[in-house]
Amino acid sequence: MSKQKQRGAASKKKGPLDRLTGDEAVTVLRLLWEERPELRKEVERLAKSVLGGVSVEDVADAVEDAVRSLDLDDLSSRAGRHRDGYVEPSQAAVDLVEEAVMPFIEDIKRRAEARQQAAALNTCVGVVLGLYRLRNREGDPFLGWAADSPDEMAGEAVVTLRKALRKAKTARGGPQGSTSLPVIFRETAPEWADMLERCWRRPS
């Protein structure tokens, strides 16, 4: 059978589930849940396994790529005179880095709220590692305008993790956890260890 025929045969085998968008798949899952409540525990187990599968390196690579993808074209489109006033290039660069990293930081909170503490921790460590790779980039055409953003966003990630874990533990009536920064952060970003420790101890 030719490759073209094989591809055609494979495409014909696709059923309705294969053609669902993400939102449609969620709707189907909710309907199934409502009609078959006995499947609730199994669905929750599968959801936990999906949420819990976090690779520090994968997160770090994604964060680094998201920031490195920013360039001077992005900066020039944001900086300068606009209808709402003048935006300094440095402020525009900081805003762009924040927008690139915040989805990953929100993911830390989401996983912690889902009681996936290990996944939340791994996500946070990945964010910090990805940003740590971007330190000391003053000579970079884009990051030179936001040289302090990597460590500031790393601090934001740690604060988010600390707050989310405290909130989750308080809601369950348990202790609020260690006041010391987990050792893995010191090992991951040794030059930022003291700064991250301060963020962990006194999350604003």
Same domain? 25 vs 91: no
* Same domain, residue pair 132 and 58: yes
Tell me: do 44 and 77 sit in the same domain: no
Are 91 and 160 found together in one domain? yes
* pLDDT score for 13: 59
Instruction: Let me know whether 174 and 192 are in one domain.
Output: yes
Residues 25 and 71 occupy one common structural domain = no
What secondary structure does DSSP assign to 26-72, as a single string?
HHHHHHHHHH-GGGHHHHHHHHHHHHH---HHHHHHHHHHHHHT--H
Residue 29 is assigned to a structural domain of this protein: yes
- Whether 6 is covered by a domain: the verdict is no
Q: Which residues pair with 81 in a beta bridge?
A: 86
Same domain, 29 and 88: no
- Give me the domain span that covers residue 18: 13-52
Residues 21 and 68 in one domain: no
Question: Tens-of-pLDDT digits for all 204 residues of the chain?
Answer: 454 545 455 445 567 766 767 667 667 777 877 777 777 666 655 555 444 568 999 999 999 999 999 999 999 888 877 777 788 989 999 999 999 999 999 999 999 998 889 999 999 999 999 999 999 887 789 999 999 999 999 999 999 999 999 888 765 554 455 678 999 999 999 999 999 999 999 865
Whether residue 164 sits in one domain with residue 193: yes
Given this model, what pLDDT does residue 183 score? Answer: 95
Q: Look at the chain and report how many structural domains it folds into.
A: 2
Q: Are residues 40 and 126 in the same domain?
A: no
Indicate whether 153 belongs to any domain: yes
Cβ-based neighbour number of residue 50 at 10 Å:
10
- Give the global pTM: 0.72
37: in domain: yes
In a domain, 136, yes or no: yes
Helix axes 149-171, 117-132, angle to 10 degrees: 170
